[in-house]
């Protein structure tokens, strides 16, 4: 593995930040009144806050995606495989029951987002507990257990929603819970908490990037290079899950960002995680900011605010199919 100097790291971070800043600035020109400069300071403030929040969520999901795909040795892995999104969605929905929200109201710190964060962490804990064997985490077992836990949580949510549909109506409807949206009614402490967890998690994964580069090798090969692969799985997946949970708690399960952004980054800088992680975070922030700007611009046309998760699916799905098509042709498969 080639040496990665502090200067190269700073240049990578600076280039990634520049890319995001250029896209974010352009996204502030899109609003519900059309494209162009904001009419007043208040409108500018609303657009900037929306762009920043979308960028935070997108960057966090893309960061976690890089870690998941490396550690699980699966290019189709994304941050929502291990029960994070379904646990947060279910907990956020259960918080709306009067008996729960009434108790939570006794404490000003127990908001719906905090409840969702707790649900996400419980989901991950269940997956880890069921998938671990003698302190070891096997990638295939993790994926299978994660899929099952997600399916169970999703079924519970849909069953309760069928019985009590008025609860989802208070939060933008069932669609908003299932695909996610950028919420504009968050309190400052909720935004700051998510930003702090995401930033700390990004730094933690950045430290682990040399080990992530060899995580795709077999266990014996990784250990021969001095990487304690089983400890890396525990630490890396835990950090990535915490990062994912922090933003799912404020946005819901926005899909495809954590799946396709690492692949977009690889098209630019290759597979070296030391360069890929910062760039994927910038691409994730920029892509979700674009999707959020498009959703705001669509309000006059469709007479409603489309959940941004719908747009990321429409953008990310076809693009990922294109990536799979290119990979198949490169491997010479007919």
Could you give all domains of the chain from N- to C-terminal order, each with its CATH number? Answer: 6-330 (1.10.3470.10)
317: left (phi over 0), alpha (psi -120 to 50) or beta: alpha
pTM: 0.88
Per the model's pLDDT, the better-predicted residue between 42 and 146 turns out to be 146
Rounded-to-integer distance, Cα 312 and Cα 292, Å: 9
Residue with tokens 């003698």: 134
Give the distance, in angstroms, between the CA of residue 20 and the centroid of all CA atoms in the same chain: 17
Section 18-38 average pLDDT? 83
* pLDDT category of residue 103 using cuts at 50, 70 and 90: low
Cα(64)–Cα(288) distance, integer angstroms: 15
* pLDDT tens by residue, 140-169: 888 889 889 989 988 888 888 888 776 665
Count the neighbouring beta carbons within 10 Å of the beta carbon of residue 207: 11
Note whether 35 and 305 are within 8 A (CB).
no
End-to-end C-alpha distance for the chain, whole angstroms: 34
For residue 157, give Cα distances in angstroms to 86, 88, 126, 200, 328. 9, 11, 17, 31, 37
Q: CA torsion sign, 238 to 241 to 247 to 249?
A: negative
pLDDT at 185 over 80: no
192-240 confidence digits (pLDDT tens): 888 999 999 999 999 999 899 888 777 788 788 788 888 888 899 889 9
Q: Which residues contact 302 (CB under 8 A, 6 or more apart)?
A: none
**Per-residue confidence at 41, pLDDT binned at 50, 70, 90?**
confident
């Amino acid at each position: 593995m080639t040496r990665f100097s502090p200067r190269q790291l700073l240049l990578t971070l600076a280039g990634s930040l520049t890319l995001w800043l250029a896209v974010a600035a352009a996204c502030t020109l899109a609003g519900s009144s059309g494209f162009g400069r904001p009419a007043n300071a208040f409108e500018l403030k609303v657009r900037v806050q929306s762009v920043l929040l979308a960028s935070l969520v997108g960057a966090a999901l893309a960061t976690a995606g890089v870690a998941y795909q490396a550690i699980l040795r699966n290019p189709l892995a994304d941050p929502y495989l291990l029960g994070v999104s379904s646990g947060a969605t279910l907990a956020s929905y259960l918080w709306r029951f009067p008996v729960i929200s009434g108790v939570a109201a006794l404490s000003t710190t127990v908001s719906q987002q905090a409840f969702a964060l707790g649900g996400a962490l419980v989901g991950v804990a269940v997956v880890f507990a069921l998938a671990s064997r003698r302190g070891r985490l096997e990638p295939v077992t993790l994926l299978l257990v994660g899929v099952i836990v997600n399916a169970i949580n999703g079924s519970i949510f849909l069953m309760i929603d069928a019985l009590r549909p008025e609860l989802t109506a208070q939060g933008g409807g069932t669609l908003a819970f299932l695909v996610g949206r950028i919420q504009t009614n968050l309190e400052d402490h909720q935004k700051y908490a998510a930003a702090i967890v995401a930033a700390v998690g990004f730094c933690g994964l950045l430290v682990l990037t040399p080990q992530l580069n060899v995580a795709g090798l077999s266990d014996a090969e990784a250990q021969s290079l001095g990487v304690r692969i089983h400890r890396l799985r525990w630490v890396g997946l835990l950090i990535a899950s915490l990062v994912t949970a922090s933003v799912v708690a404020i946005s819901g399960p926005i899909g495809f960002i954590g799946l396709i952004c690492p692949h977009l980054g690889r098209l630019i800088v290759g597979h070296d995680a030391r360069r890929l992680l910062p760039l994927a975070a910038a691409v994730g922030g920029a892509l979700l900011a674009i999707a959020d700007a498009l959703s705001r611009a669509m309000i006059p046309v469709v007479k409603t605010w489309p959940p941004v998760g719908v747009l990321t699916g429409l953008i990310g799905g076809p693009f990922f199919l294109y990536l799979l098509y290119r990979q198949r042709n490169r491997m010479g498969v007919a």
